[in-house]
Amino acid sequence: MDVRQAAKRGGRALVVFGLLGLLAGIPEARAASSILIWPINPVIEADQKATALWLENRGQAPVSMQVRVMAWSQTDYDDQLTPQKTVVGSPPVANIAPGKRQLIRLIGLQPAPAGTEQAYRVLVDEMLQPDAEPDVRLGVKFQMRYSVPLFVFGSGAGPASADKPRVGIQPLEPRLSFTVQREGGRRFLLLHNQGPAHARLSEVSLSQGGRTTTLAEGLLGYVLPGARMRWELPASVADNDLGLQARINERRELQPIPGL
């Protein structure tokens, strides 16, 4: 099974195609459902109690979607999702007819601590219909999942942007540094975020001796405040005299990231 995701950057939306049995030997596999989700980076700011997430069914059959909000942290170079009761999605279950859309309100039941950014993941799961038939070639029933990042700001804090600063709001930004880590005969690009806000890394490249190596043309991943995350380095990249640059969050320009 595979899930193909096509993002429309201008519309800040994501189309998710749930595929039944997409394998190399089964080229005729068809899309089971097509869900448009937007925005792809929802935020609840300090003066807000909720924000909107839209789900649209662009498929040919009705779909039932379950929405859950999980606390998001990063330890041991991995994402950790845990149940919480501070932010909820309403309604928690949506039945969407073909061509229709559903508004999901992401509601903060408690304010985030002052001056902080809190990270969550909104899990949107396709619920199997009771009469769903397994794929006759694979004997499986398909279920699609998509995970949307959600950031909630406490009083006096807000996301950094190119817009005019807001009175009484301190924009929070990440503070990144990198090093090369060796473990078990493998080499990793390790990033440490010592700032108070997350870093979303895209268009990531390494420079060395006038040569540039692209690690990710689109999204590489996230590094939450205080966390360390890593990605394996290509064998063609040496360890010395490395430079690193990336597009961070909403910045239009590529930003250099210093070494440790």
pLDDT of residue 29: 28
Q: Are 180 and 233 in contact (CB under 8 A)?
A: yes
Domain boundaries, given as residue ranges, for the chain: 3-159, 173-257
How far apart CA 49 and CA 88 sit, in angstroms, is 11
What is the mean pLDDT of the segment spanning 197-217? 95
Options 3.10.150.10, 2.40.30.170, 2.60.40.10, 2.40.160.10; CATH of 3-159:
2.60.40.10
- pLDDT tens per residue across span 51-78: 999 999 999 999 999 999 999 999 999 9
Would the CATH topology of 3-159 be identical to that of 173-257?
yes
The hierarchical CATH code for the domain 173-257 is 2.60.40.10
Q: State the pTM of this model.
A: 0.85
